Amino acid sequence: MESNNNSGYFASDFKKILVSEDEIEGIICRIADEINRDYKDKKLLVCGILKGCFIFMSDLIRKIEIPVEITFIKASSYGSSSVSAGAENIKVTVFSELENYKNYNILVVDDILDTGNTLCFLEKYLKDMGFDNINFCTFLDKPERRETDIYVKYIGKQIENEFVVGYGLDFNEKYRNMPFVAALDEKVYD
Ligand code: PRP
């Protein structure tokens, strides 16, 4: 049986660990502290972008100590799983009556900021719905890949332009369950 440590999960598929479980814990606490401070006495709706957000958001909201409601949006890009689509190719599915939250501050949570097309699209989508207090939070950020000027207030960690998996991030739907973030070996996706 494989051990539940950083070498046990699909170890031959990745090159190196980029964000360890200990580092993740520190990142979560730092961002949650900022959110607890910034949204004190405000109505807060945390909106996760499926699927990638699910582990990060679960950890984050359990460290938020102010009243919070949660919902999800599924933002699907059409096309290959390894190439980000332009904003015009994004299909949105909502899981709550967002109209009921117009007087809330909305914090959109995602696993990774890449080109920024997804969040740019969602910012316009939510503004068009009437939300006027929107902020973004992503666990990872790949600044080299940016194609938009989206402002993300809370960022866990900036990383190089590598193919990363784990902690919610997938390649062909695999690896999301790894409790750390690793760079995938080229042999897996070439
Ligand atoms: C990923 C990720 C972000 C988006 C970021 O989602 O979860 O939502 O891409 O890319 P961008 O900044 O270039 O728009 P993906 O479409 O892979 O779906 P998933 O969350 O279901 O894995």
Strands 90-94 and 14-19, sheet pairing: unpaired
- Categorize the per-residue pLDDT at 157 as very low, low, confident or very high, splitting at 50, 70 and 90: very high
Residue 8 has a pLDDT of 65
Biggest CA pair distance of the chain:
52
Q: pLDDT tens digits, residue range 83-96?
A: 455 556 788 999 98
Which of the residue ranges 21-30, 36-45, 95-104 would you say has the lowest mean pLDDT? 95-104
Distance CA 56, CA 67 (A): 18
Q: Ligand 1 atom closest to Cα of 50?
A: 20
Distance CA 156, CA 79 (A): 27
Which residue's alpha carbon is nearest to atom 20 within ligand 1? 52
**138 CB within 6 A, ligand 1:** no
**84 CB within 6 A, ligand 1:** yes
Nearest to 56 by CA among 85, 86, 35: 35
Residue 90 has a pLDDT of 83
Q: Is the pLDDT of residue 177 over 50?
A: yes
CA of 41 relative to ligand 1 center, distance in Å: 31
pTM of the model: 0.92
